[in-house]
């Protein structure tokens, strides 16, 4: 089995890196300070084709592989985690469910603008009382006279309230199963739907330049054909979406680690104490070496999982086709290790910078704040450990 990054991927990486360094990096700190979501840059990312990497050509996409998306997320995240998560969520949570489960009519209605980066879409699963326990969902959707009437609330929803957000898909109770469990379905609510409100954006610890809102629904009505996928399969659909999302979040963590290593190596070579660069001090040099080890391991785990995803879709060779369970396990392993490594890596990088690492004028501070949520979003570290243990055959509850 081979999951080496191809020369085509490396050429693509150079293109995205050049864009990120010239267009995003010079402004990332200011966007972070101002909590500014740069819509113009989202459009430029669309012009570069980043939102359409995995979409079919007939919808304006590149019909490319999943590994390319991970490369793009890594490179954008290397200079700005906020823009990295904007791309990750736009594709993984916005485009992917519509592309995978939508009817041809739904795809033609929503995907061309989403793929081109002209608009964004969100996906609402988490609620005030239902995070990892999605079965505790309280949002309801009742079918009345050919319309879904949605009532409830969602929280922590990315790309859900920007000026270019076109639609948000939400999971809601649409009935009850024979065993008494809730029937969960996915309903698409266009922005501007009466009764659908994107509340004031959150004041977050990190990801200041990304768009994140709580959502509320008060008799929000949409036509019956706004059901996404099969009725009662909303939760299963979202779980399938999360498998890809976990690998993409791992790629975002790899970008974070690369940034930490780059900054630490440069600073350790320039900063002097007692007449010599601090990089000559063994205690500090060993910490930077640990960063390299965490980065290398995280990158290998992430692109191994991405290769599996592509191999299952017939887009990668080099060995036997992995099973879905193999991919799920690899995705959970990559997400768990890479995100926890990113949190540790930002702490190490901040320590390398000493007192300057505590000052907002240095990018390492921003990466430190941004990293923590990587262990939480798209499945917490605890959930990943549970999934990995189950994959090993352990009867974990």
97-138: per-residue pLDDT in tens? Answer: 999 999 999 999 999 999 999 999 999 999 998 877 777 899
Q: Does pTM top 0.85 for this prediction?
A: yes
pLDDT at 4 over 80: no
Residue-wise pLDDT for 337-369, tens only, equals 999 999 999 999 999 999 999 999 999 999 999
Q: What is the pLDDT of residue 130?
A: 85
Q: What is the pLDDT of residue 2?
A: 59
Residue-wise pLDDT for 37-53, tens only, equals 999 999 999 999 999 99
Report the catalytic residues: 378
Phi first, then psi, for residue 62 (nearest 5°) are -95, -10
Percent of the chain as helix, strand, coil, to the nearest 5: 55, 15, 25
> Closest by alpha carbon to 374, among 170, 51, 74, 153?
74
Residue-wise pLDDT for 131-157, tens only, equals 777 778 999 999 999 999 999 999 999
Question: Can you give the three-state secondary structure of 27-92, one letter per residue?
Answer: HHHHHHHHCCCCHHHHHHHHHCCCCCCCCCHHHCCCCCCHHHHHHHHHHHHHHCHHHHHHHHHHHH
Mean pLDDT of 372-381: 96
| Residues 17, 367: Cα–Cα separation, whole Å | 18
Q: What is the pLDDT of residue 320?
A: 83
Residue-wise pLDDT for 226-282, tens only, equals 999 999 999 889 888 899 999 999 999 999 999 999 999 999 999 999 999 999 999
Q: What is the pLDDT of residue 134?
A: 72
Residue-wise pLDDT for 54-96, tens only, equals 999 999 999 999 999 999 999 999 999 999 999 999 999 999 9
Pairing of strands 120-124, 165-176: parallel
Place 318 in a pLDDT band, splitting at 50, 70 and 90: confident
Asked if 150 and 140 count as a contact pair (C-beta separation under 8 A), the reply is yes
DSSP state of 206: S
| Residues 215, 151: Cα–Cα separation, whole Å | 11
Residues of the chain with pLDDT > 90: what percent? 91
Q: Which domains does the chain have, with CATH numbers?
A: 7-120 (1.10.540.10), 122-230 (2.40.110.10), 235-391 (1.20.140.10)
Residue-wise pLDDT for 169-221, tens only, equals 999 999 998 888 899 999 999 999 999 999 999 999 999 999 999 999 999 99
Q: What is the pLDDT of residue 25?
A: 98
| Residues 91, 54: Cα–Cα separation, whole Å | 8
Half-sphere exposure of 75 (CA within 13 A, CB side): 23
Phi first, then psi, for residue 149 (nearest 5°) are -110, 115
For the chain, the average pLDDT equals: 96
């Amino acid at each position: 089995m081979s999951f080496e990054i191809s020369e085509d991927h490396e050429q693509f990486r150079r293109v995205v890196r050049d864009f990120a360094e010239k267009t995003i990096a010079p402004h990332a700190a200011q966007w972070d300070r101002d909590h500014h979501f740069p819509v113009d840059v989202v459009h430029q990312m669309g012009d570069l084709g980043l939102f359409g990497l995995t979409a079919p050509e007939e919808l304006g996409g590149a019909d490319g592989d999943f590994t390319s998306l991970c490369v793009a997320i890594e490179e954008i995240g290397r200079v700005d985690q906020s823009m990295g998560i904007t791309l990750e969520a736009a594709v993984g949570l916005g485009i992917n469910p519509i592309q995978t489960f939508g009817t041809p009519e739904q795809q033609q209605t929503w995907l061309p603008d989403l793929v081109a980066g002209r608009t964004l879409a969100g996906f609402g699963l988490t609620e005030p009382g239902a995070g990892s326990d999605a079965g505790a969902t309280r949002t309801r959707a009742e079918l009345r006279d050919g319309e879904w009437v949605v009532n409830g609330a969602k929280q922590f929803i990315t790309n859900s309230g920007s000026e270019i957000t076109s639609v948000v898909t939400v999971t809601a109770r649409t009935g009850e199963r024979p065993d008494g469990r809730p029937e969960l379905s996915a309903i698409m609510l266009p922005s501007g739907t009466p009764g659908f409100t994107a509340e004031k954006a959150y004041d977050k610890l990190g990801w200041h330049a990304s768009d994140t809102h709580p959502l509320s629904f008060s008799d929000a009505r949409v036509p019956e054909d706004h059901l996404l996928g099969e009725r009662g399969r909303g939760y299963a659909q979202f779980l399938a979406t999360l498998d890809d999302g976990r690998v993409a979040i791992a790629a975002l963590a790899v970008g974070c680690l690369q940034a930490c290593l780059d900054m630490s190596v440069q600073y350790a070579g320039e900063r002097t104490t007692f007449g010599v660069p601090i990089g000559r001090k063994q205690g500090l040099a060993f910490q930077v070496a640990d960063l390299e080890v965490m980065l290398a391991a995280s990158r290998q785990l992430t692109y191994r999982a991405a290769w599996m995803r592509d191999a299952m879709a017939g887009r990668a060779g080099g060995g036997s086709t992995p099973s879905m369970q193999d991919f799920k396990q690899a995705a959970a392993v990559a997400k768990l290790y890479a995100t926890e490594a990113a949190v540790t890596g930002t702490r190490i990088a901040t320590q390398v910078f000493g007192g300057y690492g505590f000052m907002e004028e240095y990018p390492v501070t921003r990466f430190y704040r941004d990293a923590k949520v990587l262990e939480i979003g798209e499945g917490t570290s605890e959930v990943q450990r549970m999934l990995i243990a189950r994959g090993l055959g352990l009867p974990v509850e």
